[in-house]
Amino acid sequence: MDMSVGEVAKRAGVTVATLHFYEEKGLIYSSRNQANQRRYDRQILRRIAVIKAAQNVGLTLQEISDELGHLPKHKAPKKKEWEELAQDWHQKLEDKIQSLRALQTQLGSCIQCGCLSLDSCALYNPDDSRGIKQAGAKLSHPES
């Protein structure tokens, strides 16, 4: 049974504008009826649930789109496909946790500095190899 955009929005707990945005980004797909109105298969509700769950985990829409791109466009992930997505997203979440832990560790240097030394600030200018030799976030002239 096909559903209208309003029905999908209500059932999925999102706005119509969100559905249009998801469709524009290639996350979900609709068909058109003879009156040129968007129509969605009921399976779209599960796909939207997966998108919302991934967003709650902290994944970007681009990351979600990349992963959903491997699945059939008009179907929700099956259990096996969901498990594969979840494993990949689990690793991405672990990577983000590690990154946040590193950031948390670097905050100790901020307590001592108080943002008085931007030339050596690991948070303001991370991985800055030039910061060892010169201060500042930008080069005054481009390198050749």
What digits encode the pLDDT tens for the residues 29-45? Answer: 999 988 889 999 998 99
pLDDT (tens digit per residue) in 97-115:
898 888 887 776 666 665 6
Residue spans per domain, the chain: 1-77, 79-126
Question: Is-above-0.75 flag for pTM?
Answer: no
Does the domain spanning 1-77 belong to CATH 1.10.3210.10?
Answer: no
Instruction: State residue 18's pLDDT score.
Output: 95
β-strands 38-41, 31-32 pairing: antiparallel
Angle between helices 16-24 and 5-12 (to 10 degrees): 100
pLDDT band at 96 (very low <50, low <70, confident <90, very high): confident
